[in-house]
Structure 1
Amino acid sequence: MTTIYHNPACGTSRNTLALIRNTGEEPTIIEYLKTPPSKVDLIKMISDAGLSVRDAIRQKGTPYAELGLDNLQLSDAALIDAMLAHPILINRPFVIADKGTRLCRPSELVLDILSRPQQGAFTKEDGEAVINAEGQRVAQAQ
């Protein structure tokens, strides 16, 4: 079973959810701004994704600067507490799947942790083709 910590206002989150659904699976959707993860779950997600706490904080469009979170002397515990008090600071979307946990930025990172294959073509909201009609990942120009 796949779980996505989702923000429906975020294009990356919407694309990630659509990629999960393109496998034929309907994931558990947690709108984390309404239902934030517990402290234990947040710490586990960050750790399981192989991120530092600072890597899991969203800066753009959040009270990051106003809260002084750019202070590099702040402990991970202080940053976690800020994320729990202001869930908008939790970067998104986190996805927990059979093959692991990822912060799916860009959205196609979700493909690395899904067990089921893509079932058809998929194009991101911005028009970027990600999956072809055969369900295979489209090679991106470097």
Structure 2
Amino acid sequence: MATTIYHNPRCSKSRNALALLEERGVEFEVIKYLEDPPSTKELQRVVGLLGIKPAELVRRGEKVFKELGLAEQELTDKQWIAVLVEHPVLIERPIVVHDGRAAIGRPIDNIEAILTD
């Protein structure tokens, strides 16, 4: 059973999620998604596991969101994925994929839930 965390070391929530995985003794792979952005296919898979629309994964408070005028645009799921691949800073974090399920660690209880179920 593979576990992956999409991690931003500068984010306290992401660091907390990493610590939770370590505390629980879970073996995991760390993907620093700002340095190694996910591919279109990978991001589509993660969004599918999360059970959300790509637009729900967008960090709307980021400077680049405003600079690109994304609030004024109506994008398709495919277009949102392309934006997230091109601008990974817009991807909500942390994301943990575990045993065929995924969760955004806001709150961290979301991650706890996929580890225990």
1:98 — aligned with what? 99
SS in 2 for 1:46: helix
TM-score (structure 2 length as normaliser):
0.90
Task: Calculate percent identity across the aligned residue pairs.
Answer: 38
SS at structure 2 position matched to 1:65: helix
Q: How does 1:1-142 map to 2 (within 5 A)?
A: 1-98=2-99, 100-115=101-116
Q: Larger relative CO (CA 8 A, sep 6+): 1 or 2?
A: 2
The structure whose residues are more often helix, as a share, is 2
Secondary structure in structure 1 of the residue aligned to 2:51? coil
Q: Extract structure 1 runs of 4+ deviating beyond 2 A.
A: none
Deviations along 1:4-26, one digit per CA (max 9) or x if unpaired, are 00000001111111111111123
Q: Is the 8 A contact 1:94 1:102 kept in 2?
A: yes
Q: What TM-score, normalized by structure 1, do the two folds share?
A: 0.75
Aligned partners of 1:40 and 1:27: how far apart in 2?
A: 21
Secondary structure at the counterpart of residue 97 of structure 2: strand
Which SS does the other structure have where 2:65 is aligned?
coil
* Structure having the higher Rg: 1
C-alpha contact 1:49 1:100 (8 A) present in aligned 2 = yes
Which residue type is aligned with residue 52 of structure 2? L
SS at match of 2:66: coil
1-structure distance, mates of 2:85, 2:77: 12
* Mapped partners of 2:36, 2:87: distance in 1: 12
